[in-house]
Amino acid sequence: MRTGSAAIPPLPGSRTRGSLRDRQKRQTRLALLEAGRAVFGERGFGAATVEEITGRAGMGRSTFYNHFRGKGDIAFEVAFEDTAPVNDTMEALGAVDPRDQGAVGDWLAAVHHRFCEYRPAVHLVVQSIAHDRHAAERAVEIQYESAGRMLESLTARGFTIRPDAFERARVLVMMVNRWLFFHAVQEVHLQSGGMETMIDVVSKSMLEVIEQAPVAD
């Protein structure tokens, strides 16, 4: 066991070189993402290739694979960035009183609008997770995080949540995402399970995660 040993100072200029390398790495990654966004937008996921993305970015394949696992990985990262407003609106459910079906309906209409507004990016998310297992795992992680933030918002507003609330909220997020994909993105006509039904399902599901609601003033 060492005692009283002084920290070894960094070599002169090492921090500068390290920060420069980090900055260059970020810039390279951003350039690849922008090239990927352009290629996926022009060619679609199926027709796009890694070679087209690296060619657009002016980089080689080895550089690409230093940053991404493959086409599905970069497609997911592009789509994740582009669908940030969709995720933000989804998480806003935590700011809604689940006892107020009108408020739940307004939230669902807002999320529906976001899915329609960002339809190409949502399509790219679905295609990337079908193509790449790592992307699918990242999508599940993001849904977990969304569920957690929704519950944090409810707790901050005075709601007491049940011990199994997280699992229930996670399943609700996944269910609403799936429903919105078919209803808003694919525009599939559903004989049952329309907007009114989903409002009722979301309200009941949210009430099931709550053990006690705050007392109204």
Q: What is the domain-level CATH number for residue 187?
A: 1.10.357
CATH number, domain of 49, equals 1.10.10.60
111 and 56 fall within a common domain = no
> In the prediction, which pLDDT does 3 show?
44
Alpha helix segments (H runs only) across the chain: 14-47, 50-57, 61-67, 71-82, 84-91, 101-117, 119-131, 133-156, 165-180, 195-209
160 and 98 fall within a common domain = yes
61 and 85 fall within a common domain = no
Domain count, the chain: 2
For every one of its 217 residues, what pLDDT tens digit does the chain have, with 9 covering 90 and above?
Answer: 344 444 556 555 555 666 888 889 999 999 999 999 999 999 999 999 999 999 999 999 999 999 999 999 999 999 999 999 999 999 999 999 999 999 999 999 999 999 999 999 999 999 999 999 999 999 999 999 999 999 999 999 999 999 999 999 999 999 999 999 988 888 887 666 688 899 999 999 999 999 888 876 4
34 and 102 fall within a common domain = no
112 and 27 fall within a common domain = no
Query: What's CA 185's distance to the chain center, in Å?
Result: 16
51 and 97 fall within a common domain = no
48 and 87 fall within a common domain = no
Conformation bin of residue 13: beta by default, left when phi > 0, alpha when psi is -120 to 50: left
In terms of residue numbers, what domain contains 47? 16-68
> In the prediction, which pLDDT does 8 show?
58
Strand intervals (E) in the chain: 160-161, 210-212
10 lies in some domain: no
Q: Which two tokens stand for residue 44?
A: 């679609």
53 and 110 fall within a common domain = no
Taking the C-alpha atoms of residue 36 and residue 201, their distance in angstroms, rounded to an integer, is 38
Q: Tokens 């789509």 belong to which residue?
A: 79
The pTM is what?
0.82
Q: Which two tokens stand for residue 108?
A: 């669902």
> In the prediction, which pLDDT does 214 show?
86
8 lies in some domain: no
> In the prediction, which pLDDT does 195 show?
87
> In the prediction, which pLDDT does 59 show?
96
27 and 102 fall within a common domain = no
194 and 151 fall within a common domain = yes
